[in-house]
Amino acid sequence: MFITALQSSSMCPEIIFILSGKRKSGKDYVANLMVQKLTAVRCGIMRLSSPIKFQYAKENKLLYEKLNDSSEYKEKYRIEMIKFGEEKRNIDPGYFCKLATSEEYGTECKKPIWIISDARRQTDVDYFLQKYTDRVQTVRITATEEIRKERGYIFTKVAF
């Protein structure tokens, strides 16, 4: 029922920039630079990870704010959050894309330029390409593993 309401009330942006890349590759940095250049009045950053963390915190009675920072608290729950996200995506691959671009998660979706700052899966990109066909520009952000480690990246193997 909630998702149906989101689909019927979704905004229609002029353009969507989808930033993809591995953890600690610089996606947020590039997104923030884009907002500076394009102006925050016209441009909104939407993070697909926000609704994942929000839903996970809600269902597990955790602190959403702490899951949004780079703390040990978030790292403690990272693997379980990944599993949670995959379970939801297996049912509906666009689940978190719909939530992130809804008014449920703020007013950024009302702006004419969207920046999706953390697309990590092809299904995320596919959702926007299918729904907004000619309005999507994909941008792949890369960084060497050495640079990513300098930024705090630690490989964590996740088994499903």
Over residues 33-58, the pLDDT tens digits come to: 999 999 999 999 999 989 999 999 99
Whole-Å CA distances, 4 to 9, 15, 80, 96, 97: 9, 23, 27, 13, 13
118 within 8 A of 21, measured Cβ to Cβ: no
100 within 8 A of 48, measured Cβ to Cβ: yes
pLDDT digits (tens, 9 = 90+) for 63-78: 999 998 877 898 899 8
Which pTM does this prediction carry?
0.80
